[in-house]
Amino acid sequence: MLLHSTPAAVVDGTLYTLLAFSVVTWTLIFFKSWQFWRNSTWNNQFNESFWNADSLSDAGALPESAFKGPQARIARQGLSWLAESRQTTAKSLKFRGTASDLLEHALLVQMQKEERTLESGLTVLASIGSTAPFVGLFGTVLGIMQAMQDITASGSTSLDVVAGPIGDALVATAIGIAVAVPAVLAYNFFLRRMKLHRAGLENFVVSFMHVAFDTDTQKKG
């Protein structure tokens, strides 16, 4: 009795697993869509405020509400580093080296933090997209095994007896594919958005460094 019930239980387990995969996939799709939209909106608003400022000092004096989003946090990191480096009299190891290289490093470290935040969840989507069909196929194989055992026990091999159980077993494969397709499409879409977002952050870092050292040059002159 236990041997006959085990495959059916495993098939049900695979279906519940695929259901969980589907819930996770659509949750991530909605969350990542909102996350990218929110960051794009904040970046656009911050860019307009930051680059319209007359100087870095004026930009740093922008209200706290303006410093939202990845680019704002990178700018805050750069402004903090510049202020700290100018106030430090005894240069510690933190400030040993070329100023441009040190500032670039500080900006890139913050940029990498922002990228890791945006990349969160993409690995899960990729894993679901690649494993869901195999989970469904596993359920199908076990379902067919159960169907064969039931057919053998009934002693009938008519089409009506064979087609029904095997057709039910194939549902697991169909569900696995149905779960995988949105996950793969979402992963590719968000990966493309991630690349565009990374390019925007890199451009901001380069522009910030140009402004920072052009300001320093003017002060020295």
For residues 217 and 34, give the distance between their C-alpha atoms in angstroms, rounded to a whole number: 41
Residue 218 scores a pLDDT above 60 = no
Kindly state whether residue 65 falls inside one of the protein's structural domains.
Answer: no
pLDDT digits (tens, 9 = 90+) for 30-65: 999 999 999 999 999 998 888 888 888 888 888 887
pLDDT digits (tens, 9 = 90+) for 130-176: 999 999 988 888 877 777 777 677 666 665 656 666 777 788 889 99
Q: How far apart are the first and last CA of the chain?
A: 90
Residue 5 scores a pLDDT above 70 = no
Instruction: Tell me the backbone φ, ψ of residue 162, rounded to 5 degrees.
Output: -80, -45
Mean pLDDT for all residues in the chain:
83
Kindly state whether residue 143 falls inside one of the protein's structural domains.
Answer: yes
pLDDT digits (tens, 9 = 90+) for 99-117: 788 888 889 999 999 999 9
The DSSP annotation for 11-64 comes to: HHHHHHHHHHHHHHHHHHHHHHHHHHHHHHHHHHHHHHHHHTSSSHHHHHTS-G
Residue 202 scores a pLDDT above 50 = yes
| Count of domains forming the chain | 1
Give the closest residue to 22 by CA, choosing from 191, 190, 186, 183: 183
Kindly state whether residue 56 falls inside one of the protein's structural domains.
Answer: no
The range of the structural domain enclosing residue 117 comes to 2-50+71-220
What was the pLDDT predicted at 162? 61
Kindly state whether residue 201 falls inside one of the protein's structural domains.
Answer: yes
Q: By three-state DSSP, how is residue 217 classified?
A: helix
Q: By three-state DSSP, how is residue 168 classified?
A: helix
What was the pLDDT predicted at 155? 66
Kindly state whether residue 157 falls inside one of the protein's structural domains.
Answer: yes
Kindly state whether residue 59 falls inside one of the protein's structural domains.
Answer: no
Provide the greatest CA pair distance for the chain.
Answer: 98
For residues 29 and 115, give the distance between their C-alpha atoms in angstroms, rounded to a whole number: 18
What was the pLDDT predicted at 99? 79
Residue 73 scores a pLDDT above 70 = yes
